Each structure stands twice: as C-alpha cells, then as structure tokens.
Amino acid sequence: MSEPELTLYLGGTRSGKSAAAEAHALRNGGPVLYVATAMPQPDDPAMSERIRRHRLRRPDSWPLLECPRRLAPAVAAAWEEMRSAAPGGRQATILVDCVTLWVTNLLLSLPEQEDAGALECLVTEEISALIDLSRALPCRWVIVSGETGLGGIGGNALSRQFCDGLGLANQLLAARAQEAFLVVAGRLLRLAPAEELLPRA
C-alpha cells in the first residue's frame, strides 16, 4: 500500500503559493484541517491584516489549528478530534501554511540563535516528526513553504541561519512529497525529483 499523498508548494512572498495550496485542498473534495503557523501579534498590524485576508479566502467549514511549534502532536490531536466529529466520508486533507513561519518560530525559540547546529537539529527533529505523522494518518497533506534561497547570501548571521534552516526543511519535505511545485506570479512549475533528471547508467 502506498503512503498517503503529500504535495509541497514553494514560492516567494506574494507568489500565490497559499492560494494554489488552498485550491488543491478544495479540489480534493473532503474535509480540510487548516494548520496555521502564524499567530496574530498586536504590535504587527501588517501581519494581522495578512492573516485576516487569508481567513476571508478560506471556507468557513475548514477547522483552524493555530500552532507556532511542535506541529506533529498538535496536528495528531486535532485530526482525532475532527475524525470523531465526522467519522467516515471522503478522505480529509491537512493543509499546513506555512513552514517559513514555523522555522522562524523554531529559530527564535533557541537560547543561542546563531547556533547553526542547534537549529539544524531542531528543524530535523520537528520536520521528521511531521513526516512520520504524514505517513501514519490516512489523509492527504498539502504543505506551503517559502523559497528564500534565490536572493543570495544574507547580510547577517541570523538571516543566514534562517535561510539555512528553511532550506533544510524544504529539502526534507520535498524528499517525502509525491509532488512539489514552485509558484511564481500565480503560475506553477512542477519540480522533478533528482532521479528523473540524472542520466541512466
């Protein structure tokens, strides 16, 4: 039996990656658990407005889980609650938006934020737990993440740490995904696995 489907959407700021992921979840047709890693901040009105627009775009029927860290146990608990409320029926989708803010939260949680080894270990641990959960639950997964590796090397240690941590997270998720897309200006480009591009022996 093949493992449950996971699709990854990558893109820059305002690329349309979230909208593409939401459309994917709608096409699946079943119930959707929306997992948000961004938390409203009273001192950041721009982020609050961004969150408000995302909420307006989503169907009211999608239950919301706000979780800045430790996604795997929180999603597992929310999944059990959703399944008990609506047993059977069409296959559900778990939509995680987004990994970018999740990695930011992980970075800011470290006692020493410039400790590259600590961030790598934490990202690997949390992403591995989410991947294990994605294999265990009988549902589809749609995950959104930012692509920040196209703009050169950051000008300070913290930005370099963040880009390295996010790049690691994206590679781990892409290795698990059946499909991965790069979203640019609302257009999608399918990303082929490396083995499809390597010459045959």
Show which residues are catalytic: 54
Distance of CA 190 to the CA centre of its chain: 17
Beta bridge partners of 19: none
Beginning with the edge strand found earlier in the chain, give each strand of the sheet holding 6-11 in spatial order. Answer: 64-66, 32-36, 93-97, 140-146, 6-11, 179-184, 187-190
Phi first, then psi, for residue 34 (nearest 5°) are -95, 120
Cα distances from 65 to residues 81, 95, 108, 114, 149, in angstroms, run 11, 10, 21, 30, 28
DSSP class of 200: P
Report the SS3 class of residue 43. Answer: coil
Q: State how beta strands 140-146 and 6-11 pair.
A: parallel
Contact 119, 107 (CB under 8 A): yes
Rounded Cα distance between 181 and 52, Å, is: 25
Which of 70, 2, 58, 8 has the alpha carbon at shortest distance from 33?
A: 58
